[in-house]
Chain A
Amino acid sequence: NAGVTQTPKFRVLKTGQSMTLLCAQDMNHEYMYWYRQDPGMGLRLIHYSVGEGTTAKGEVPDGYNVSRLKKQNFLLGLESAAPSQTSVYFCASSYSRLEPQHFGDGTRLSIL
């Protein structure tokens, strides 16, 4: 039982490149979330999903897109990476809005 798995764990990009971060959960959770964590800023919600085929914007959605084609997967895309998107990205999932979220171990992304 792996819980929440994020791929890749580390990545370095050049400004303007694109990439996709993958999140997979094996707990049959309906809700999935993408956060970014920056020093002094805490965890901020980028996008979230309340079920397969649905997505919604969080606090800081600009520059990111997401897709939830399968219940167990939630993808975060950067179409044209910018240095301001250098951060640690966390994926989380939960059974419902009121249930605790379970987090992956993060993707450390640097954009030069």
Chain B
Amino acid sequence: EDQVTQSPEALRLQEGESSSLNCSYTVSGLRGLFWYRQDPGKGPEFLFTLYSAGEEKEKERLKATLTKKESFLHITAPKPEDSATYLCAVFNTPLVFGKGTRLSVIA
């Protein structure tokens, strides 16, 4: 059975304190992995797609990387507006979502 595990469940950072979120998966024949951001009371918002091990994508303070067993979302010098829940999902028929990491960035 395909599984996606995100860690930690919650993370509290000071503004400017860089860190990483982890998404580990057990999927036979990974076709793709997505990262989403979800703000309270809103639907998930697409951030990145990664298709193969070694691939990296960047957007502002966020950088997503992919290995054969896990993906990382690196947050560099975060700001309070980066506070949200970050979800990863691996491609299957259709997607299998992790439970998310709740990120709080304190000014």
Does B93 touch A at the CB level, under 8 Å? Answer: yes
Does B86 touch A at the CB level, under 8 Å? Answer: no
Main DSSP-derived SS at the A contact region: strand
Q: How many A-B residue pairs have CB under 8 A?
A: 47
Chain B count of residues within 8 A CB distance of the other chain: 21
Chain B: minimal CB distance from A7 (Å):
14
* Residue among A4, A41, A101 making CB contact with B95, cutoff 8 Å: A101
> Contact string, B77-106, partner A, CB cutoff 8 A, digits 1/0?
000000000010101011101111000000
Chain B: minimal CB distance from A86 (Å):
17
Chain B: minimal CB distance from A66 (Å):
14
Chain A: minimal CB distance from B99 (Å):
4
Within the assembled complex, what's the spacing in Å between the Cα atoms of A37 and B46?
Answer: 17
Within the assembled complex, what's the spacing in Å between the Cα atoms of A4 and B46?
Answer: 13
Cβ-defined contact, B32 with A98, below 8 A: yes
Residues of A within 8 A of B49 (CB): 100
* Residue among A4, A42, A98, A102 making CB contact with B98, cutoff 8 Å: A42
* Residue among A45, A48, A97, A106 making CB contact with B43, cutoff 8 Å: A106
